[in-house]
Amino acid sequence: MATEQALDPSLPCCRYLLSALLAMEPSECLISHARACGGGSITEQVQQFILDHCLSTPGDFYAPYLKNFLKKLIAQVECDHGCVLDQFYELYAQYITSIKDDSLGKRDSRICKRISFLFPDGCSELQTCPHSRVLTFPLQCSINMLEGDTGCSIWPSSLFLSELILSHPELFSNKLCFEIGSGVGLVGLCLAHVKASKVILSDGDLSTLANMKFNLELNNLNVETGIQRNEDTGSVKCLFLPWESASETQLQDIMPDVVLGADVIYDPVCLPHLVRLLVILLNRKNMDSSCKGLSPNSKHENGEHYRKGATDRSDGIYKSVSNGWNGQPKEAPVAYIACVIRNIETFNYFLSLGDKANLNMEDLTDSLKPMNLLLYMQSYKQADIKLLRITSN
């Protein structure tokens, strides 16, 4: 082992392995990256890299997660008839004797994931590209999304919007950006990084809002609450905003240039409230007339009426454009909504409500693509995300 040359941490495969571990990707993902580092097998050289660069500060990781990874790593090397370094046996033995998995199912348990955006070579012209080509945000998240703590989880569409912001900073720099349903705050961190003139994040759940503020402070951002006019810029604002009770005056005071939303199209009951918010935020005049008919009780009628033709994007309601995203007058507010279509009926219902509210929805999925900055993530696929650009007619 002493004669082997150590792996270069700057190699893409090594960066992927380290980034995947920091982001707490599934163990199968880590094993796959480790194999790539060793040319198809987890060699002793790869194992030494994991010890020296990935596990050098074990106190910073969630111990049950590392225990599971070590178990699978050892089993994989042994299955391949390779030699497992003694340090891995020792580490695994420590975790077995000292760790209980009782906390895995607790709803209020938190872990720290580190999301790293890996910029490709040749992107030095981007203002957002750090010299090291790696931008990392630590985020406190929920352990178990299935227990209902969804607001403190990292959703695929928030990863997509973050890649979009970092890839196209010109759409967000020097603009007042407002996010609906901000979750852990990752999108807001990226907006602040590309120097949006003001960043306002919101959520309708108080525990999620508290966790979001913690994440912003964890990333050295000043956090302010409430919205006041003529404030100094430079801080991220956090706003408690339940969709169903948000007042028109409260929303009009925000006056955003850009509205963002990640995976907010999932609950049919909430969609009339979401569309009402978009109407007010995107149309600064005559809001009352635009919101007529957006009653939560209209779900069945609206959904059934639009469902027949909603997936036909040639009907003018849900437009597919090649470069229409830059054709809107610069001063007009615009919303970027990213989502995974989990239920086509719910998605069609959202489109029908937007049509009734005089919102123009354009499909930018094929025309405004972000760079692939999260290639190490096997749990996230950029191609699964639908991107809508919404403006007021």
Dihedral sign for Cα atoms in the order 257, 262, 265, 270: negative
Q: DSSP characters for 375-391? A: TT-SS--GGG-EEEEEE
CA atoms within 13 A on the CB side of 73: 32
Q: How far apart are CA 373 and CA 273, in angstroms?
A: 33
For the chain, first and last CA: distance in Å?
A: 67
For residue 50, CA distances in Å to 21, 45, 82, 92, 101 come to: 10, 9, 16, 14, 24
For residue 72, CA distances in Å to 42, 65, 67, 90 come to: 12, 11, 9, 15
Q: How far apart are CA 382 and CA 164, in angstroms?
A: 11
Please report the domains of the chain, with CATH numbers, ordered by start residue. 12-100 (no CATH), 150-392 (3.40.50.150)
Task: Supply the pLDDT for residue 162.
Answer: 98
* Closest among 97, 66, 264, 81 to 181, alpha carbons compared: 264
Is there a contact between 351 and 317 (Cβ–Cβ < 8 Å)?
A: yes
Task: Supply the pLDDT for residue 302.
Answer: 39
Please state the φ and ψ torsions of residue 353, each to the nearest 5 degrees.
-65, -40
Q: In tens digits, what is the pLDDT along the chain, a chain of 393 residues?
A: 444 688 999 899 999 999 999 999 999 999 999 999 999 999 999 999 999 999 886 556 788 899 999 999 999 999 999 999 999 999 999 888 876 654 444 545 789 999 999 998 766 444 555 556 899 999 999 876 544 466 688 999 999 999 999 999 999 999 999 999 999 999 999 999 999 999 999 999 999 999 999 999 999 998 876 554 444 445 799 999 999 999 999 998 899 999 999 999 999 999 999 999 999 999 866 444 444 555 544 443 333 333 333 443 333 344 444 444 454 445 789 999 999 999 999 999 999 999 999 999 999 999 999 999 999 999 999 999 999 999 998
Strands (E), 143-194: 176-180
Task: Supply the pLDDT for residue 144.
Answer: 64
Task: Supply the pLDDT for residue 33.
Answer: 97
For residue 356, CA distances in Å to 291, 313, 392 come to: 9, 16, 11
* Closest among 97, 137, 277, 333 to 217, alpha carbons compared: 137
Task: Supply the pLDDT for residue 133.
Answer: 85
Residue for token pair 């929805």: 361
